[in-house]
Chain A
């Protein structure tokens, strides 16, 4: 596993040194959520009711901003070719890079979400559920996103195409993420089932995402 660890460590170092990606995602998340009350008006009950939906959609859009970078720079500077000659299968290369993306994007966004919940008058009781669902759901965002990032690697203006490819695949995560948070807010008791399905979606994408991404990478590298 030393190659896997080395790759994750390198990607984390690069994310910190390059700086831009994490800050951009967090700033975008903040702005989208801050714009909502301005657009919808100061109806606190309305905001509280739709807060979970707004936070989840804003999180997906923010994560989307940095997805394109998962493979892009390594493809441009030839590092991906070299990685293909390593003993680490390309599937695990994709998994390592998606893991690094989750750590640098998914976790910071999930931790910022409670602060943005304040802007939307989200019920205080829902905050633990909000962070828990986002931490459990964001691996799916990174690992499904890796498929889209690999598919659009050679496309010009790949960013827009990436959004079109990936956003529909996020629908299940979105539905169960929102329903878990809503259940915690409204205390309907359906939290546990939604949360478990959300975890199942993440675990499924953990396995299938790298396989699909590696298959796409093999085509893109030719």
Chain B
């Protein structure tokens, strides 16, 4: 039988086109830009000394704008605006309709015409889908899910994990 495309596999190692920031131990995050738990995790992770890799895991039946937002973030990435738009969305998940996205682009200096074309492109959709499918293969079933040292941590990270990540930096 042909191998199933969504059978189990570890989260892929960071690639050049992954969205990464920070320095320290590797932390791979599967998240949904409309998910309030992901917004909470973002607050907890933002000051941690980790190498943070963001991957999209939009769950549309739970968050109707999730995939639209993932595509928007990828379109912004093509103008080096992934993290600014990511942070803008995570800081305010109450205004997510198209006019709100356009206003965010204006504030962030993202070219709107290019953004509008890019966020509807097949390349951007495939980029988001790549992340989502790698998450399914890694067993992600909720957002956020964090991977540290090959182990999955579903949900908002608890103090035990956060403390361990902080102390690893101190031990380095």
On whether the two chains bind one another, the answer is no
